[in-house]
Structure 1
């Protein structure tokens, strides 16, 4: 996969690393059922997505600081990972489980998810799975 056009490339030749959020991206983590529904709603509008089967969650990458103004009271179970937090990030070639892997692989044109649209979709998915 050509990732040289990206501003950031995940680790290579390892299974998973803990990397700091807030520099190249922030992460929005959702419980699996909610995340699966949101992923279907996003369709081709999704950016890269990390799947953590053990933690039973999906994580979208968004621009650093983009979720700072979000009101999380409407999104139970959603966790934001920004400055001073870390995220399990799979190797660039890790696109299948059983461990942490790229559910939607990182690629030029498929890097960050548009945060306002992701927020709207997560709100819709939250209502649908309640």
Structure 2
């Protein structure tokens, strides 16, 4: 499905993503695991990650595609954290950026970017 209309996406290697999820706990929105690519992807509001430069993180926006599995799908692409039946299916970009900075060891910067040391 295309990014940039209903959401953008933030993608991270699965190993680091599990640490981010453990840190965020119930504050994480739904997350898609792709076992073929060994990644986890969060959906975030459109254009809220513009300007992010975070080592090891891929930000996907307008013109890019992601695979969104149906709920309760049990293949190599599945929901690691299921979307709610009703409510917001997007992750807070501020909370996600803070968790990424903590897990990846990068300082959080006021200009909206997180950079490696």
Q: Give the TM-score taking structure 1 as reference length.
A: 0.76
User: 1:101 is matched with which residue?
Assistant: 78
User: 2:89 is matched with which residue?
Assistant: 111
Partners of 2:14 and 2:69 lie apart in 1 by 17
Query: Residues 2-39 of structure 1, C-alpha deviation per residue, up to 9 Å, x if partnerless?
Result: xxxxxxxxxxxxxxxxx101111111000111111001
Partners of 1:24 and 1:106 lie apart in 2 by 15
User: 1:24 is matched with which residue?
Assistant: 6
What's the C-alpha RMSD, in Å, of the aligned pairs?
1.4
Partners of 1:109 and 1:45 lie apart in 2 by 14
The offset of 1:40, in angstroms, is 0.4
User: 2:114 is matched with which residue?
Assistant: none
User: 2:105 is matched with which residue?
Assistant: 127
* Worse-superposed segment, 46-55 or 104-113: 104-113
**Alpha carbons of structure 1 residues 110 and 46: separation in structure 2 relative to 1, 3 Å:** farther
Structure (1/2) with the larger strand percentage? 1
Runs of 4+ with deviation above 2 angstroms:
none
Partners of 2:88 and 2:71 lie apart in 1 by 13
Q: Give the TM-score taking structure 2 as reference length.
A: 0.84
User: 1:84 is matched with which residue?
Assistant: 63
Could you tell me which runs of 5 or more consecutive residues in structure 1 were left unpaired when the two chains were aligned: 1-18
Contact kept, 8 Å, 1:48 with 1:110, in 2: the verdict is no
User: 1:41 is matched with which residue?
Assistant: 23
Greater relative contact order (Cα 8 A, min sep 6): structure 1 or 2? 1
